Amino acid sequence: MTELDGDADWPVELRGVTESVVTTLGPNDQWNVAVLGLHAPDGGAGSVTARTWGRTRTWRNFRERGEGYVQFVADPVDFVEAAMTVREEDDPVLASADAWARVDVSRRDEGTDGETQWVEWELRPIESAIERETVPTINRGFNAVIEATVATSRLDVPTYDTAALLERLAHLESVVETCGGEREEAAFAVLTDHVDAEW
């Protein structure tokens, strides 16, 4: 567990940037599902941070509610749906979550990158749970799915080279086809259905 100054601990060890799924309560009393990169503190001491880019539902709900549920999932379809679609749920914790933390969220910094607004948030767990423990495995197809969601999120950003991103997506698709299983292939199909580009 990662020790922090908040009321609870993170249910998993965080290092570098850990990709997660976050649910935040919207004005319609539904939990919006999105992805969120968690930045571990340098040296393990301090607060975990995350950035929202643009005026997203997560940005709005963080600003208006001040909390959310950070979840650690191993299902690639749930991850891609969180990244690429508008998904809402009645309950804050997904069935696929291996662990989760309810977090208190406060604005730490903000700025712009090019024409895109960003806000850096400090996340402090106030409640957490481990739903299931698994033996870690390495699936290159799953990793390729995660990288593909990052690449697609940058396709419409002027500071990134679209041709290079499309070339990367073609490579990642081949990795999924070669190394992924049924869920990774289904996840990549969701991704391609929601990208207005061909590679």
Give which of 68, 49, 69 is closest to 60, Cα–Cα: 68
Q: In CATH, what number is assigned to the domain containing residue 164?
A: 1.20.58
CATH number at residue 63: 2.30.110.10
Residue 10 falls inside a structural domain: no
Q: Are residues 160 and 89 in the same domain?
A: no
Rounded to the nearest integer, the mean pLDDT of the chain is 93
CA 65 remoteness from chain centre: 19
pLDDT tens digit sequence for 54-72:
999 999 999 999 999 999 9
pLDDT in tens, 89-140: 999 999 999 999 999 999 999 999 888 899 999 999 999 999 999 888 899 9
The pLDDT score that the predictor gives to residue 159 is 84
Q: What is the pTM of this model?
A: 0.88
Confidence at 156, pLDDT banded by 50, 70, 90: confident
Range of the domain at 24: 17-130
Structural domain total, the chain = 2
End-to-end CA distance of the chain: 41
Domain shared by 106 and 181, yes or no: no
| Cα 37 versus chain centre, distance | 5
Q: Is residue 22 located within the same domain as residue 46?
A: yes
Of residues 183 and 46, more confidently modeled: 183
126 & 159 share domain: no
Judgement on whether residues 98 and 36 belong to the same structural domain of the protein? yes
What is d(CA 135, CA 74) in angstroms, rounded to the nearest whole number? 12
Rounded to 5 degrees, what are φ and ψ at 8?
-140, 170
**Tokens 């481990």 identify what position?**
130
The answer to whether the CB of 113 falls within 8 A of the CB of 159 is yes
Query: Ranked by mean pLDDT, which of 38-47, 77-86, 189-198 comes out on top?
Result: 77-86
DSSP 107-153: EEEEEEETTEEEEEEEEEEEEEEE---------HHHHHHHHHHHHHH
Q: Sign of torsion, CA 17 18 19 22? A: negative
Helix (H, G, I), strand (E, B) or coil at 172: helix
CA 84 to each of CA 17, 76, 136, 152, 198: distance values in angstroms, whole numbers, following the listed order: 20, 12, 26, 9, 16
| Residue 70 falls inside a structural domain | yes
| pLDDT at residue 144 tops 50 | yes
Q: How confident is the model over 12-24, as pLDDT tens digits?
A: 999 999 999 999 9
